[in-house]
């Protein structure tokens, strides 16, 4: 529920409140032993998005990189969630003035999405 509340804050452009809510959700998930690494990564992903929208691209990049490791391990390198996280990672590099790194991640995301589309056609 906290994660959904955080998303609502983002939609209302209440970025500081969203960031606080996502951080709270992540802390709770980390304390619950039965929480999967995917669930924690999901909260970390949302927290990364809130840092992006507050223009803290360095912090957002760290969070998306953390998610990417989990998503690759748990979902495989070609999963749509990996593509989505590669896209967001690329956006951070672009905002940080590293177009070469940004392009690398964005093209990786595109390759996965093309494979996924070809598999469903």
| Sheet strands (E) in the chain | none
Taking only the tens place, the pLDDT of each residue in 66-116 is 999 999 999 999 999 999 999 999 999 999 999 999 999 999 999 999 987
What is the Cα–Cα distance from 29 to 49, expressed in whole angstroms? 18
pLDDT at residue 93 in the model: 98
**Which residues lie below 8 Å from residue 93, measured CB to CB, with a gap of 6+?**
61, 99, 101, 102, 105
What is the Cα–Cα distance from 20 to 27, expressed in whole angstroms? 11
pLDDT at residue 11 in the model: 92
pLDDT at residue 120 in the model: 61
CB 19 within 8 A of CB 11: no
DSSP state of 97: T
Query: What's the predicted TM-score (pTM) here?
Result: 0.88
């Amino acid at each position: 529920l906290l994660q959904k509340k955080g998303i609502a804050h983002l939609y209302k452009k209440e970025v500081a409140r969203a960031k606080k809510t996502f951080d709270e959700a992540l802390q709770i998930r980390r304390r619950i032993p039965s929480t999967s690494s995917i669930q924690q990564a999901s909260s970390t992903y949302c927290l990364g998005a809130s840092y992006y929208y507050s223009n803290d691209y360095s912090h957002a990049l760290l969070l998306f990189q953390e998610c990417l490791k989990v998503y690759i391990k748990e979902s495989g390198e070609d999963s749509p969630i990996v593509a989505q996280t590669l896209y967001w990672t690329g956006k951070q590099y672009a905002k940080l003035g590293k177009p070469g790194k940004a392009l690398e991640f964005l093209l990786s995301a595109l390759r996965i999405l093309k494979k996924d589309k070809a598999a469903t056609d």
